[in-house]
Amino acid sequence: MKITWSKNLFSCTYKLFESGKPIGYLINRTFSNTYEATILGEKYTFLSQGFFKQNTKIIDREKNTVVGKIVYNTWMNGATITIDDNKFLWKFDNIWNTKWSLVNKQGERIIFQGSSGHGKIISELENPLYLMCGLYVTNYNWQTASIAIAAMIPIWITLFS
């Protein structure tokens, strides 16, 4: 499975494409801990919880049931994604955070490459929810890092002026 995605600079919506045809989206609700995702007709909600021990519930919107969870490591540079009984490890694969992957215990991989505006996904697995989770975790980490930097700017200005 080969997927591309794009997002405009000030948009909250990632659009996903396969062979140039739209197949889904991931929307970050501004000032909310909720993301909405649709891929190949399947609809999900990602609901983040916690402050120091952050985690995210993955909810099937059609059935209104929790189908998985994401648990982030302390430094937000890794996560464990559990869907049904399948576990995946999410991690960045380079220091620029432009390449990342999901890997299960069988060694099957989903490879992601991109920036905040566009990218591509190559998957050995057919479950579209796994693809969405990989994109969601990355966006969540980018957003968390941006908030942390924005919160630190006034402190740095005060300390160094």
pLDDT in tens, 28-71: 877 778 999 999 999 999 999 887 678 999 999 999 999 999 99
pLDDT at 76 exceeding the cut of 70: no
Q: What confidence tens digit (pLDDT) does each residue in 103-144 have?
A: 999 999 999 999 878 999 999 888 899 999 988 887 767 566
Strand partners, 91: 78, 101
Side chain identity, residue 130: Y
Q: How many domains does the chain have?
A: 1
What pLDDT shows up at residue 77? 73
Virtual torsion, Cα 8, 16, 107, 58, nearest 10 deg:
90
Read off the pTM. Answer: 0.83
pLDDT at 147 exceeding the cut of 60: no
> What angle is formed at CA 50 by the lines to CA 49 and CA 53, rounded to 5 degrees?
125
DSSP, collapsed to helix, strand or coil, labels residue 155 as helix
What is the rounded CA–CA span in Å between residue 76 and residue 78?
6
Indicate which CATH number applies to the domain containing 105. Answer: 2.40.160
Domain that holds residue 69: 2-160
Distances (CA, A) of 50 to 35, 71, 79, 113, 138: 15, 10, 15, 28, 18
